[in-house]
Amino acid sequence: MKHNFGAGPGILPHEVLKQSAEAVLDLNGIGLSLLEISHRSPEFESVLNEAVSLVKELLHVPAGYSVLFLQGGASLQFSMVPYNLLPQDKTAAYLETGVWANKAIKEAKLFGTPVVVATDKENNFRTIPKKYEVPSDAVYFHITSNNTIYGTQIHEFPKSEIPLVCDMSSDIFSRDISVADFGLIYAGAQKNMGPAGTTLVIVKDDLLGKSGRAIPSMLNYQLEIDNGSMYNTPPVFAIYVSMLTLRWIKAKGGVAAIEKANEEKARILYEEIDRNPLFKGVCSAEDRSTMNVCFIMEKPELEKPFLKFAEERDIIGIKGHRSAGGFRASIYNAMPITSIHALVDVMQEFAEKNK
């Protein structure tokens, strides 16, 4: 068995993959493939409805919010957010915590004036800045809850009068959140919710309609709300697999139970990194991510041999991102604790051989 620590697209529960494969051949015994039925058929409408209600149930989404399944990845949200929310003559605040936050800032410049309230760029984003002021005239405050590349995570969300917009691509459904504290949440599915091809958006309805500009239909949240995420043909397969993954989360006991398991998995791995004399963590301890565990070796010349050693023992996908280096073990919801133990065993075996 391979232990897949890849950062994204990430692993999915085996039973979800199996059911998805079955639905491609024959959806619920109707004699037709999921991929060849109308998206407006009752069969697919019930898939989409179930996906939306599972999101609402699992995250306790309050009234006044809409749940959308869109396309274009989290990256299109970098533009859709300011297109829909940021008037040309207004500012929005951004917390710069890495490459993804950076890309969001770049897009916002096309629509208004983003203000970077804090950054840890000089330190290659090893910490989450905590001391900053959000300008009182900002129309929203954009944060990235989990920085997939650097392995940092916001553990305490800022209390903000200004609507919080959050990119949760790599930690959505990994921990309990209070949706009411956010104006808009978005997440590309392929890290922790499903396959690539759909993007979850949860938006507070009363933020919309204030940009003062005409918005192309496919980029307009309100139009997607009015059309129930079906202004055009939705990504049926990605939504179906996401729905199955949400069912799996529910069967596991919901987000709170998943959160507990995630904390345990992360604790075991960080403990080994801190204990093993060959390895060391990269991020400041209080900002460490429970999803992407980044580490380096005390002796950089051992990194290549360790990577090979690990791959020979079926540990896959732990090479760090090109802009961070070292190693990154992504331990998303679907990662079983047995895979964490397998990685820890390999680290210990390697340390034993390299004393």
The residues of the shown chain that bind ligand PLP, judged by CB under 6 A, are 8, 73-75, 100, 144, 148, 167, 169-170, 188, 191
- Given 90, 191, 265, 319, the catalytic residue: 191
**211 versus 292: smaller Cβ distance to ligand PLP:** 292
Is residue 18 part of the annotated active site? The answer reads no
**103 versus 250: smaller Cβ distance to ligand PLP:** 103
Is residue 2 part of the annotated active site? The answer reads no
- Given 167, 204, 265, 287, the catalytic residue: 167
Shortest gap between Cβ of 325 and ligand PLP (angstroms)? 18
Q: With contact defined as beta carbons under 8 Å apart, do 326 and 282 qualify?
A: yes
Rg, Å, the chain Cα set: 21
Shortest gap between Cβ of 26 and ligand PLP (angstroms)? 30
**129 versus 254: smaller Cβ distance to ligand PLP:** 129
Shortest gap between Cβ of 184 and ligand PLP (angstroms)? 14
Shortest gap between Cβ of 151 and ligand PLP (angstroms)? 11
**27 versus 282: smaller Cβ distance to ligand PLP:** 282
Shortest gap between Cβ of 299 and ligand PLP (angstroms)? 30
**23 versus 154: smaller Cβ distance to ligand PLP:** 154
Is residue 191 part of the annotated active site? The answer reads yes
CA nearest to 154, candidates 143, 142, 165: 143
Active site residues: 100, 167, 191
